[in-house]
């Protein structure tokens, strides 16, 4: 308290008598502003809760071996930290989804330095992806891993944004079908072509790669049409290689493999070809948080992801503002009652994704949290 700073200018304040209620009054030595000091225990407890949730700490390390900590912080599990509208236009945005449970995924969008938006859904559907995208100003380019539903959502929400398919995921798509040691010559050649995607740096190299891929398709066309009889049905003899070929062909035809080499985009500097930013700096950190707190329910795991994302935006709110402004489980239930949607328990599947409550909390307006 002896080091109280002025909320207006940040300079040191001095004691200046007391208010009518007996509270200590403080006056700034620089600007003359006067204020009182409030000991916000709720904000302090929330800071302690977040400090335990995100680092690699256990409740046994807390005072009272966690009993006091749990008593003071259990109410904070009811808070849903929500993203705000992002008006700034970014050069590139990365998107991906991290699965919390079999039917529960958090869709995340981020820039190079910060998390931009997130959304809880049952699956990576187009309607689910539209929610986080609608809250972000359309960027120049978006890098995606090709998850289902995203392309349709991006076409509706960001029609002018160019899409870059992560080249590493495109390579992995082929590797899953051919393995790293394919036995057939066609598989060996296709695997080698897919591996080259990770090292293409110029438009000339990209054009040469597409030409050789087309030559491969033409040369092995008859081979991949061969069929055999299995259980009385006629099937393709080399189905896995055909699936790998189909995936690459779709990407080539859509023109999303080498978007990062476009002259209009590289004028201000090189563009990313892979989703490494969100995979390494965000998803890996989130998996570490969930791994450190094994045993949490699906609902609490989702909220842990929400808290991590919320604290990694460009300007997170103070803990006091967070307590005052963010929706809680009670707000969700109130909205559910107003809209006539019923649920037997908090963890019911209808809580996630396209339900009325979550559409309300993820609404694209600037004021999505009103409950009256």
Cβ neighbours around 185 below 10 Å, total: 10
Q: Which residue bears the tokens 């991949």? A: 224
CA distance 335 to 358: 10
Band (109; pLDDT cuts 50, 70, 90):
very high
Contact 235, 227 (CB under 8 A): yes
Contact 299, 347 (CB under 8 A): yes
pLDDT of residue 3: 63
Q: Are strands 92-101 and 141-144 parallel, antiparallel or unpaired?
A: parallel
Domains of the chain: 1-38 (no CATH), 92-164+275-361 (3.30.420), 167-266 (no CATH)
* Residue from 270, 308, 269, 318 nearest 287 by CA: 308
Q: Which residue bears the tokens 């007996």? A: 22
Residue 371 in this model has a pLDDT that exceeds 60: no
pLDDT digits (tens, 9 = 90+) for 231-288: 888 999 999 999 999 999 999 999 999 999 998 888 888 999 999 888 888 999 999 9
CA distance 299 to 328: 13
Cβ neighbours around 276 below 10 Å, total: 13
More confident of the two residues 239 and 54:
239
pLDDT digits (tens, 9 = 90+) for 217-245: 999 999 999 999 888 889 999 999 999 99
State the pTM of this model.
Answer: 0.79
Tokens of residue 138, six digits: 């359309």
pLDDT digits (tens, 9 = 90+) for 119-159: 999 999 999 999 999 999 999 999 998 877 899 999 999 99
Report the percent of the chain where pLDDT is more than 90: 51
pLDDT digits (tens, 9 = 90+) for 292-344: 888 889 999 999 999 999 999 998 988 888 998 898 888 878 777 766 544 33
Q: In what order do the strands lie in the sheet with 115-121?
A: 115-121, 104-110, 92-101, 141-144, 162-165
Q: Could you say which DSSP state residue 329 is in?
A: H
């Amino acid at each position: 308290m002896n080091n109280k700073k002025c909320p207006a200018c940040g300079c040191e304040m001095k004691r200046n008598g007391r208010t009518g209620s007996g509270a200590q009054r403080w006056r700034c030595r620089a600007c003359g502003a006067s204020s009182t000091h409030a000991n916000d225990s709720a904000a302090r407890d929330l800071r302690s809760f977040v400090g335990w949730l995100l680092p690699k700490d256990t409740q046994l390390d807390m005072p009272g071996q966690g009993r006091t900590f749990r008593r003071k912080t259990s109410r904070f599990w009811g808070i849903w930290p929500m993203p705000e509208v992002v008006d700034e236009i970014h050069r590139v945005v990365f998107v991906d989804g991290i699965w919390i449970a079999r039917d529960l995924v958090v869709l995340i969008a981020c820039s190079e330095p910060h998390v931009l938006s997130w959304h809880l859904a049952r699956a990576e559907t187009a309607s689910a992806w539209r929610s986080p995208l609608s809250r972000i100003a359309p960027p120049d380019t978006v890098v995606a891993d090709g998850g289902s539903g995203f392309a349709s959502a991006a076409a509706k929400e960001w029609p002018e944004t160019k899409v870059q398919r992560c080249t590493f995921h495109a390579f992995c798509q082929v590797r899953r079908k051919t393995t790293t040691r394919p036995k057939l010559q066609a598989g060996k050649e296709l695997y080698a072509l897919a591996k080259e995607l990770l090292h293409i740096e110029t438009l000339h190299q990209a054009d040469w790669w597409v030409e050789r891929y087309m030559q491969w398709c033409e040369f092995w066309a008859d081979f991949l049409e061969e069929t055999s009889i299995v259980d009385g049905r006629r099937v393709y003899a080399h189905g896995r290689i055909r699936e790998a070929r189909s995936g690459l062909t779709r990407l080539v035809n859509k023109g999303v493999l080498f978007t990062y080499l476009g002259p209009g985009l590289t004028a201000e500097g090189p563009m990313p070809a892979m989703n490494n930013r969100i995979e390494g700096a965000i998803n890996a950190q989130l998996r570490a948080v969930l791994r450190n707190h094994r045993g949490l329910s699906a609902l609490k795991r989702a909220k842990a992801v929400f808290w991590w994302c919320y604290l990694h935006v460009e300007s997170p709110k103070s803990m006091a503002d967070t307590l005052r402004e963010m929706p809680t489980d009670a707000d969700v239930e109130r909205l559910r009652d107003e809209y006539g949607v019923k649920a037997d328990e908090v963890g019911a599947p209808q809580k996630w994704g396209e339900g009325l409550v979550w559409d309300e909390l993820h609404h694209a307006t600037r004021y999505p949290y009103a409950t009256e």
